Amino acid sequence: MSTFSAPRGTYDLIPPESADYLAVREAIAAPLRRAGYGYIETPGFENVELFARGVGESTDIVTKEMYTLTTKGGSRLALRPEGTAPVVRAVLEHNLHRGALPVKVWYSGSQYRYERPQAGRYRHFSQVGAEALGAEDPALDAELIILAVDAYRSLGLRNFRLLLNSLGDRECRPVYRAALQDFLRGLDLDEDTRARVEINPLRVLDDKREAVQKQLAGAPMMPDHLCEACKEYHEQVRGLLTAAGVEFEDDEKLVRGLDYYTRTTFEFVHDGLGSQSAVGGGGRYDGLSEMIGGPPLPSVGWALGVDRTVLALRAEGVELPQPSRTQVFAVPLGEEARRALFGVVTELRRQGIATDFAYGGRGLKNGMKSANRSGAAYAVVAGERDLAEGVVQVKNLDSGEQVPVPLDGVVAELRRNLA
């Protein structure tokens, strides 16, 4: 046993449980590919300032949760706490925004935040994200939400809810911000929360502490302060979702945890996960490009938690399809048979048949034990006498029936049997 273990708040993905995580990633990615989203991958660490400007200096992510380091050259870097700001940076850096718009991309990878570890919340976690950059269109907001819903449904997840809100834009947000600040300044809040009131008061609405939530009764809400353009935009998003058969709940307090959101904001929650109920979410972020020094680039996107989705599936008792089990297991007896059957194994795999091999020359008894443990339908056994006769023994592991098959025809025979 090693003297080392995974750092606190992290985990190792190992078979067979890791198959569920792969299945979730693939299911989320599938509708994105069909909708024209291309794959993008950014570094696991970025300049600290990218997140300070983009995510927001008042957010818990920036003030408390980022893993930062200083390079030998003196640069300050941060392990990636979220995926949107790096994607926007990459799109701008490689001038993708100068081509056809919107730029539609998806990504999959790990994020890192220094949080208090608990069920469903880790310091290292996996997400699949999607971003559509360069267009201000309610249909784009609705498209991304529908793609996420379709991904969840394809996995068999049923008991999730979609929460929806609008956070307004540059015209109406300042008016609401001032009204909310006036209300919050009259509450009994701790020093840190009072500081947040002055920097980003909307974040106080997202405070989960009961003592704060009780005081928020009667607080002004964004929907009452939306300008006509934002009201119309939000109604179009709602109408498109309804027409697509997507149910949602209006949530006036939904602000999400990042400063860059504007207009459409949404979150997927699952009531089977306890306090950590969010499984994914996102929204529109029309000003993020400008925050990090780029041109105006209205955009929308989401990130869905792979870990949280797996937990939600397990809470519902959903069993995901497992990888193809071993169909054929080869057991060689002797060096000559080892070379011959290894060639058979290679060809079977190339023909799309899941095949394994008794490594280590452990003999017939141990080799057949391994074949039975693998769940294979057939075992292929060969020794010196078999090869001298130009045959191998093919054994049906369910019925126990064993027949000799010519070595040069065994691949075709197994293909016929498995078909």
What confidence tier does 62 reach under pLDDT thresholds 50, 70, 90?
A: confident
Q: What digits encode the pLDDT tens for the residues 292-340?
A: 999 999 999 999 999 999 999 999 999 998 877 899 999 999 999 999 9
What confidence tier does 58 reach under pLDDT thresholds 50, 70, 90?
A: low
How large a percentage of the chain has pLDDT more than 70?
Answer: 98
> 256 labelled as ligand-binding?
yes
Say yes or no: 151 and 231 in one domain: yes
Q: What digits encode the pLDDT tens for the residues 329-348?
A: 999 999 999 999 999 999 99
Q: Confirm whether 164 is domain-assigned.
A: yes
Three-state secondary structure of the chain: CCCCCCCCCCCCCCCCCHHHHHHHHHHHHHHHHHCCCEECCCCCEEEHHHHHHHCCCCCHHHHHHCCEEECCCCCEEEECCCCHHHHHHHHHHCCHHHCCCCEEEEEEEEEECCCCCECCECCEEEEEEEEEECCCCHHHHHHHHHHHHHHHHHHCCCCEEEEEEECCCCCCHHHHHHHHHHHHCCCCCCHHHHHHHHHCCHHHHCCCCHHHHHHCCCCCCHHHHCCHHHHHHHHHHHHHHHHCCCCCEECCCCCCCCCCCEEEEEEEEEHHHCCCCEEEEEEECCCHHHHCCCCCCCEEEEEEEHHHHHHHHHHCCCCCCCCCCCCEEEEECCHHHHHHHHHHHHHHHHCCCCEEECCCCCHHHHHHHHHHHHCCCEEEEECHHHHHCCEEEEEECCCCCEEEEEHHHHHHHHHHHHC
Q: What digits encode the pLDDT tens for the residues 160-182?
A: 999 999 999 989 988 888 898 89
> 260 labelled as ligand-binding?
yes
Range of the domain at 78: 18-172+226-315
Q: Are 148 and 267 in contact (CB under 8 A)?
A: no
Say yes or no: 24 and 151 in one domain: yes
> 261 labelled as ligand-binding?
yes
Say yes or no: 60 and 99 in one domain: yes
> 82 labelled as ligand-binding?
yes
Specify the number of domains making up the chain: 2
Q: Confirm whether pTM is higher than 0.85.
A: yes
Name the more confident of 157 and 177: 157
For residue 23, is pLDDT > 70? yes
Say yes or no: 263 and 334 in one domain: no
> 390 labelled as ligand-binding?
no
Mean pLDDT of the region 156-163: 96
Say yes or no: 368 and 235 in one domain: no
Mean pLDDT of the region 79-101: 96
Last residue of a domain, one of 280, 315, 350: 315
CATH classification at residue 47: 3.30.930.10
For residue 116, is pLDDT > 90? no
Q: Confirm whether 215 is domain-assigned.
A: no
CATH classification at residue 406: 3.40.50.800
Output the pLDDT for position 209: 87
Q: What digits encode the pLDDT tens for the residues 190-224?
A: 888 888 888 888 878 878 788 888 888 888 888 88
